[in-house]
Amino acid sequence: GIRDFACLVGSEMCIRDRRPGIRQEGDARCRLGTWRTPEWQGAVMSSRSHSRRRRRCDPVRRVAYTALLATETRGAYANLALAEQLRMSALTGRDAAFATELVDGTARGTGSWDRIIAAAGGRPASTLQPGVRVVLRMACHQVLQMRVPTHAAVGTSVDLAAHVIGE
């Protein structure tokens, strides 16, 4: 309960359930500054080092992104660009089916996704970089048309954008 949880930022120690050195990830007070286990347990750790992880790009979404970017920038046909990417990546089964649905659905709904992006962003989607536009369209399709949980669609889209566009 509340009595069992104390976060002492001033003394740089977080205690959860009366066990020293264990911090609760969801508590914002424990994420401020540094935290330390009691001296007899050792190491000082920065909470910021936990939040800076190397982003991994999902290979299925990367294949879909590459095919859609070719469609956006070079005027390629989505089905032919996807077939080439699937051949090069050797995706099979469920992964290939997911990439196919992601490419086909995103390409089909481009007009709708652009209107949603413009309404949410406050400016036309055409003013965005092509890579950013493709990632946002893919995210819209996953959230609004596929059965991908919102947190997964957003998280993988951010990771994809960081990987292909830069942080």
Interval 114-166: pLDDT, tens:
999 999 999 999 999 999 999 999 999 999 999 999 999 999 999 999 999 88
Q: Which of helix, strand or coil describes residue 21? A: coil
Question: Residue 147 to residues 4, 8, 118, 122, 139: CA-CA distances in angstroms?
Answer: 39, 42, 23, 27, 12
Question: What mean pLDDT is predicted for residues 81-94?
Answer: 94
Which amino acid does the sequence have at 114?
Answer: D
- For the whole model, what pTM was predicted? 0.68
Looking at residue 157, what is its pLDDT? 95
In the chain, beta strands by DSSP E: 5-8, 13-16, 19-20, 34-36, 44-46
Checking DSSP bridges between strand 19-20 and strand 34-36, what pairing results, if any? unpaired
Contact 117, 125 (CB under 8 A): yes
* Residue 25 CB burial class (10 angstroms; 0-12, 13-18, ≥19): exposed
Question: What mean pLDDT is predicted for residues 68-80?
Answer: 96
Looking at residue 166, what is its pLDDT? 83
Interval 2-43: pLDDT, tens:
332 233 233 333 333 344 444 444 444 344 433 343 443 444
